[in-house]
Amino acid sequence: MKISVMGGGPAGLYFAILMKKSYPAARITVFERNRPDDTFGFGVVFSDETLQTFEAYDFESYQAITDHFAYWDDIEIHFKDNVYRIGGNGFCGTSRKQLLILLHQRARELGIELLFETDVTDFERLMRESDLVVASDGINSLVRETYKDHFQPEVDLRPNKFAWMGSTKPLDAFTFFFEETEYGIFIAHTYQYEPGLSTWVMETDPDTWARAGLDKMNEPESAKFLEKVFAKQLEGHPLLINRSYWRNFPAIRNKHWYKDNIVLLGDAKSTAHFSIGSGTKLAMEDAIALFEAFRANASVADALAAFESQRREDVEKIQHAAEVSLVWFEHVDRYWDMDPVQFAFGLMTRSKAITYDNLELREEPFVRAVDKMFAKQVAAEGFEVDLENPPAPMFHPLRMRDMVVENRLVVSPMDTYSAVEGVPQDFHLVHYGARAMGGAGLLYTEMTCVSEKGRITPGCAGIYTDEQEAAWSRIVDFVHKNSHAKFCMQIGHSGRKGSTKLMWEGIDQPLEEGGWDVVAPSALPYFENSPVPHVMTREDMDWIKGEFVAAAKRANSAGFDMLELHCAHGYLLASFLSPLTNTRDDEYGGSLENRLRYPLEVFDAVRAIWPNEKPMSVRLSATDWKEGGITGDDSVAISQAFLEHGADLVDVSTGQTVPDAKPIFGRMFQTPFAEQIRNEAGVKTIAVGNITTADQVNTILAAGRADLVAMGRPHLLDPAVGLDSAATYGFSEMYCPPQYLAGYQQALRTAQRDREELKELKLKARPRHHYTDARKQAAE
C-alpha cells in the first residue's frame, strides 16, 4: 500500500507512524513544504487522558513525548487581585518544535520517508500514484481549497483577536490572567512547556484591539505593548515572538471529509479553539481514528467512509465544547462584575466538560468557597442562610414578589395531550400531584390554552370554561395540601400551529378531520400541508387579548401562585415576535419594536388583572435557530421590554418557530441563552433544555447562568427528582410528605455512602503517568 501524507504536522506524522507500525510493508511518504526545524507558535498541551490514549497506541512515541514534557496538575486564575488555584486537572506541555522532532525520529525509525521543503500541487497525479492521500496540510489547506466544491468547507472567523507569543517567565500551572486597561480587557492563556519557556496566547475583543492601536503595530511593537499590560504577571520577563501576528480564530467544518482516495485530517478538516487546548489533541486523535478505520476495513473506500461516519460525532462534540468556551471569552465583560469566586467557577465550567461535582472531586475547598459565595448572595436577598456550611446552590430559596420558592428546581411545562374537551382529567391530578410531592420548588402546568380555537391539539388542556377551572382548582388544592411546591399556570394560544394531531400521532401535523380555523399575524402555514392561517385584524387582536385576560382571571380563581405567558415555540405570540413568521407591514410588523407591540399589549392586559403580589414570567424562544430569525441579542432586548412592563422572570427556551430550523443540540444546549439574558438584560431567568442531573443544576446556578433550572424528561421518569437530589447531596431539610418520609430518610442514609464510594472509584480511575526525575525537575 502506498500512502502519501500532505503536511508534516502532528496529525499526518502520527497517522503515518501508526500505519507503518502495523503495516510494515506500506510505503509511506510525508511531504512537508517547510524545513525540519521550521515551526510556528510555542507550546502544545495534552491532558492525562490524551496521554493515556497515546500510551495505548504507540508506547515508543508516548515515552519519547513524556520524557520531554513539563507536567502540572493545577489551573490558576488571576482576576482582580484574586488568585484561585484548582488542582486535579492533569496537563502536560512541550514545545511544538520538540513534539515534531520526536515524531520525526519515530517516523524515521519505522522507515517512513520524510521529504521537507517539498511543494506538491499536482494532487490528481498524487491520487493516481497513491492508494491513499492524507491531506493534513493545516488550517489553510491547499487540498481542501482545491476541492472545496466537494468538501464544502465552512469557515467561521470568530470576532476576538489573538496572538500566539512566548516568554521566559516560569509557570507551574496552566494560568489565566485577566487585565482591564483604559482600552478594554486583555486575556492571557499561559502555560510552561519546558524549563524557562512558556506559551502566552494573548486575546482581546476587536473594539479593545482597535482602541489600543494594535491594528497599527507590528510584532515587536505588539509584544512591547502587551509587556506593559501584563507587567505585573511577567515580572520583568520579556514576551517572545515567532510569527505572532494578530488573527481571528477560524472555526472550520467540512460537509465531506474525503474525496475518492484523499482524506482531510487535523486542522484541514476541523479546528478547535485554543481556550480548551485541544487543537493538537484533536489532530492526533483524528490520526488514531483514521488508523482504526483501516484496521477494521479491507478497502480504502470503506475505511474512509467508516472514518467519517464514526469519527464525526466525537469531533463535533469537541468542537461544540470549544465553541462554548470561546464564546465565554468573547463575552468576558458579561461576567466582569461578578463575585470573583463566581467568575472563576464560571471560567472553569464554561465548556461543560467540568461541572460542580467534577470540580468538587478535583478541588473540594474551592467548591466549598463557591457554596459560601452563593449562600451570601441568597442572604443578601433577606433569607436566613447557614453561611458556614451552606447546602449546594439548588437547595436555596428564591423570592419573586411575595412568592418564595423553597429551592431552585423547576418542573418544566410539558404537554401531556390528555385533556378531554380541554378539561384536565385524573391523569393530570396524578401527574402534577406526584411531581409536586417529589420536591421541586416550582411546578409548571403544560401550555394551557385560552380558547377552544387556541388549542394545539384536541388533547390540550384549557382554562376557558367553568368545568376546566374547577378541574384545575382541584389539582391546585392537592398540590398545596401535599407539598411545598409553588404552582405556575402557563397560558398560551396555538396560532398557526393549532388544529394538529396528538404528539405521538404526528407532531405538528394537521388534523385530517375535526380541525378548526387557525389565526396568525401573517398568512404563513407551518408546513406546506398545514392550514393557511387567517391574518389577524385589530378586532381579532382585541378578542384574543380578552381571552388571555379571562384565562388569567380563572387561573387566579383556581389558586395558582404564578402565571406565565407563552411567547415561544412558534405559537401565536411568538409568531408576532419572529421576523420569520411576522411579515406584516403595519405597526405590528417590521422592526423589533413593532413586532413586540402585540405581545406586550397582551402582557400588560394580563398583568393589570393578575394580583400584584403574584409574579409573572414569560417564556421565550431566545433564538429561532435560523438565519434571519431571532438571535440572542434580540432576546435580550425582548426580555428587557417585558421586564420594564412588569415581568419577574424569563423562561428561556429556543426554536420550534419554523420547521426547517437547525438547532445545535447537546447537554444544557439552551443554557447559554438564559445566561446571556440574565447577565445582559438584568432579569431572572430559568434555564431549560437537556438538563438531566442535579450536578448540572448546581453548575448552572453557581456560575450565574440562571436563577432557576427546569428539568422536563427526567421528571417524566422520576417524579421525585428533587428528593433524590437532596438525598444525594445530604440535604435533609427538604419537605417530604409524611407518607413518604421513611423512604426519604433511608435515601439520605444510603446516598451519602454511595456518593463517597463513587468518588473513590472516580479518583482511582483517573489516568496516572509516571515521570522520571528529569521530567519532574523540568516540571518544577
Show which residues are catalytic. Answer: 571
| Grid coordinates given for 407 | 429551592
Question: Are the beta carbons of 432 and 558 closer than 8 angstroms?
Answer: no
What 353-359 contacts at long range (C-beta under 8 Å, 24+ apart), as own/partner pairs, is 353/276, 353/321, 355/695, 355/696, 355/698, 355/699, 356/392, 356/393, 356/695, 356/698, 356/699, 356/702, 357/695, 357/698, 358/695, 359/86
Among 476, 477, 420, 467, smallest CA distance to 445 is for: 476
Nearest 5°: the CA angle 179, 180, 182 is 135
For residue 591, the tally of other CB atoms under 10 A from its CB is 10
Taken in order 366, 372, 375, 379, is the CA torsion positive or negative?
negative
Neighbours of 40 (CB within 10 A): 12
Query: What sign does the CA torsion over 31, 36, 40, 44 have?
Result: positive
For residue 340, the surrounding DSSP H or E stretch is helix 340-348
Question: Residue 191 gets which letter from DSSP?
Answer: E
Q: Among 514, 527, 528, 616, which residue's Cα sits nearest to residue 570?
A: 527
The count of C-alpha atoms lying within 13 angstroms of the C-alpha of 164, restricted to the half-sphere facing its C-beta, is 17
Q: Which amino acid is at 266?
A: G
Query: 494: which 3 cell numbers?
Result: 396555538
Burial label for 674, CB within 10 Å (0-12, 13-18, 19+), is: buried
Scan for cell 428561556, then name that residue: 652
What is the helix, strand, coil percentage profile of the chain, to 5? 45, 20, 35
- 687's grid cell: 434555564
Phi, psi of 208 (to 5 degrees): -60, -45
Which cell numbers in the block locate residue 153?
A: 468547507
Enclosing H/E stretch for 324: helix 300-330
Q: Residue 354: what residue type?
A: I
Cα 53 to Cα 47: distance, rounded to the nearest angstrom = 10
